[in-house]
Amino acid sequence: MKLRQIAHSRTGDKGNVSTISVIAFDEADYSLLAEQVTAARVAAHFAGIVTGPVIRYELPQLGALNFVMKGALGGGVTRSLALDAHGKSLSSALLDLDLTAPEHPEGGQARQGKS
Amino acid sequence: MRTIRIGAGAGFAGDRIEPAVELACHGNLDYLVFECLAERTIALAQQARLADPDKGYDVLLELRMSAVLAACRENGTRIVTNMGAANPLAAAERVRDVARRLGLAGLKVAAVTGDDVLEAIRGSRLSLLEGGTLADLDNRIISANAYTGAAPIAEALAAGADVVVTGRAADPALFLGPLIHSFGWAADDWETLGKGVLAGHLLECAGQVTGGYFADPGVKDIEGLARLGFPIGEVSENGDLIVTKLEGTGGAVTTATVKEQLLYEIEDPARYLQPDVVADFSQVRVRSVGPDRVAVDGGNGAARTGLLKVSIGYIDGHVGEGQISYAGTGAVERGRLALAIVRERLALTGVPMTEVRFDLVGVDALHGAALSQGGAPYEVRVRVAARTEAAADAIAIGNEVEALYTNGPAGGGGVSKSVRQVVAIASALVPESLVSTQLGFFEA
């Protein structure tokens, strides 16, 4: 399944840094986001666009993650030659990320196995 | 507990006019805030001021003020705006002139100045956050403005200003100033100041918290975007916030719209650096408390850093650009041929460029080949953009694309070309002691 099916997202910009939020529609899906939408996966998804490190911040009480991508905007919004100099469309690209659907629904066997 | 109502009348320089009029007439507001400065705006405004000392403020200032000033006066709503840009004093005089024209005798307008630090830092070796020092930008610098805080805004309101016009105040400070003035919050009450910054951050982009920039048909549907209502913050004396909007306007205020705006342009949510406080959004919670009403709590803060961010505008050469479209079967192949031709032509003619891009809009212009999988589109648009030092070289980029009309692949149409001088922004930090703000007053 696609990230888009369980989360929404907005991109912001500061200089040459792009910030992207990933917010679960249903806060119960936060653990799935936290497990699969890692900084490394986001960095790999944007390989060729983001030249610096990707940092992830976790906001479990909002069911949200916040990604900070350095060197993402072609030298900065005010200098970039890109059609989308602000990188505002990057959120839509991230929502196309493939996720592995959980084998067991919440409260199913997976949880019982842990207890 | 006392509550004040504070509305956002604009979230960027070109924002719609009518939502602010609705708020001024029907919002029962204590304050109406217009946030109209982006990173580069003030540098462009400085250029305008250099060309004409009476200019350099927001070009829509008079239009926006003419639209809301009478209603605000009637309803006891005070206005705070950064539309002063590079010339708050001239802007305040224009607001006074508008007030006189509308017959609003006695209306008091304050200008906050002092954010312009160009002379204070010129010639120094101040470190730039992007790397290097100020000396590297040398004689290309056109402006340097510090992000100032809420204190001078609160002071202007305490002195009776009906309208406060600033230059490069930090966006959330436009909201924090009225809150400090209304509630008498202490300058070291970090938790409450952090909550005030949270309110300002959520409101400052106006429609972006009420359903604007959110809709995704079938997934996130929003009704009435053509008549989007701008937000109202109901802020309590302890900093608690409810975000809402006027009944009958388009858009929506939901926990989802508020969460998206909460994280918008935020790096570390626990350390949102502001002139007045380091705000902490890391424990913020949101909950729906009615139709188009969302309560926000858990904001916090820590002592401010004592450093102010400075935006430095500088001339960074030129960008030349050309575009042309191809359609029908084979459009992508003809577009790629066109790009290859221009690439070869720019090499043959030896146009000096420091950076160049060859995009196929509709195929891979936004995110490159790796992310751009899918079927062939019906039409594509070729786009070539390059950075050059001289304007004449930038002109050559568009000309080479235009020459595809008679020299390129079949069926190319709709050429556009442009050249612009680039005003870029670099950032630095300076001690707050370097910046001293002043107030000027004008009465209609």
Instruction: Determine which of A66-70, A102-106, B329-333 has the lowest per-residue pLDDT on average.
Output: A102-106
Instruction: State the Cα–Cα distance between residues B189 and B263, nearest whole angstrom.
Output: 23
Residues of chain B with C-beta less than 8 angstroms from the C-beta of A9: 260
| Tens digits of residue pLDDT in B204-249 | 999 999 999 999 999 999 999 999 999 999 999 999 999 999 999 9
Residue A109 has pLDDT above 60, yes or no: no
Same domain, B436 and B422: no
Mean of pLDDT values over B166-191: 98
| B173 and B184 co-located in one domain | yes
> Mean of the pLDDT values across residues B145-158?
98
Residues B221 and B337 in one domain: no
Query: In this structure, are residues B165 and B110 in contact, taking their beta carbons and an 8 Å threshold?
Result: yes
Tell me the mean pLDDT in the region B31-45: 93
Give a yes or no: residue A85 inside a domain: no
Average pLDDT over residues B391-396: 97
Cβ–Cβ gap B213/A49 under 8 Å: no
Q: A70-95 pLDDT, tens per residue?
A: 999 988 888 899 999 999 999 999 99
B166 and B124 in a single domain? The answer is yes
Mean of the pLDDT values across residues B100-117?
98
Specify the higher pLDDT residue, B252 or B370. B252
Mean pLDDT of chain B: 97
A24 touches chain B (CB under 8 A): no
Kindly state whether A109 is in contact with chain B, defined as any CB-CB distance less than 8 angstroms: no
pLDDT at A105 over 70: no
Note whether residue A108 is domain-resident.
no
3-class DSSP state for residue B310? strand
A84–B422 C-beta distance less than 8 A: no
Query: With contact defined as beta carbons under 8 Å apart, do B117 and B309 qualify?
Result: no
pLDDT tier at A108, thresholds 50, 70, 90: very low
Is the confidence at residue B279, as pLDDT, over 90?
Answer: yes
> Do B21 and B149 have their domain in common?
yes
- What is the overall mean pLDDT for chain A? 90
The answer to whether residue A91 neighbours chain B at the CB level (below 8 Å) is no
Q: Are residues B196 and B81 in the same domain?
A: yes
Q: Are B377 and B363 in contact (CB under 8 A)?
A: yes
Q: Is B129 exposed, middle or buried (0-12, 13-18, 19+ CB in 10 A)?
A: middle
pLDDT, greater one: B127 or A101: B127
Number of domains in chain A: 1
Q: How confident is the model at residue B191 (pLDDT cuts 50, 70, 90)?
A: very high
CATH code of the domain covering residue B358: 3.30.70.1150
Same domain, B286 and B354: no
**CATH number where A15 lies:** 3.30.70
Residues B295 and B416 in one domain: no
pLDDT category, A106, cuts 50, 70, 90? Answer: low
B53/B120 same-domain check:
yes
Q: Do B383 and A83 touch (CB under 8 A)?
A: yes
3-state SS class at B1? coil
Give the residue-averaged pLDDT of B291-301.
98
The CA-based angle B14-B16-B21, given to 5 degrees, is 130
**Alpha carbons within 13 A on the beta-carbon side of A80:** 22
Q: What percent of chain B has pLDDT over 70?
A: 100
CB contact under 8 A, A93 and B266: no
pLDDT, position B373: 81
* Residue-range definition of the domain harbouring residue A29: 3-74+92-99
Domain that holds residue B406: 315-427
* pLDDT greater than 80 at residue B155: yes
Task: Flag whether residue B252 sits within 8 Å of chain A, measured between CB atoms.
Answer: no
Yes or no: say if B384 and B357 are a contact pair by the CB < 8 Å rule: yes
How far is CA B309 from its chain centroid?
A: 16
Q: What is the ipTM of this complex?
A: 0.93
- Same-domain check for residues B34 and B164: yes
The verdict on A12 touching B (C-beta cutoff 8 Å) is: yes
Residue-wise DSSP of A36-105: HS-HHHHHHHTTTT--S-EEEEEEGGGTEEEEEEET-STT-TTT--STTTT-TTHHHHHTT-B-PPPSS-
- Provide the shortest C-alpha distance from residue B416 to chain A (in Å): 14
Residue A84 lies in a domain: no
CA distance linking residue B67 with residue B185, whole number of Å: 32
Closest-CA residue to B243 (of B264, B258, B224): B258
Residue A107's pLDDT band (cuts 50, 70, 90): very low
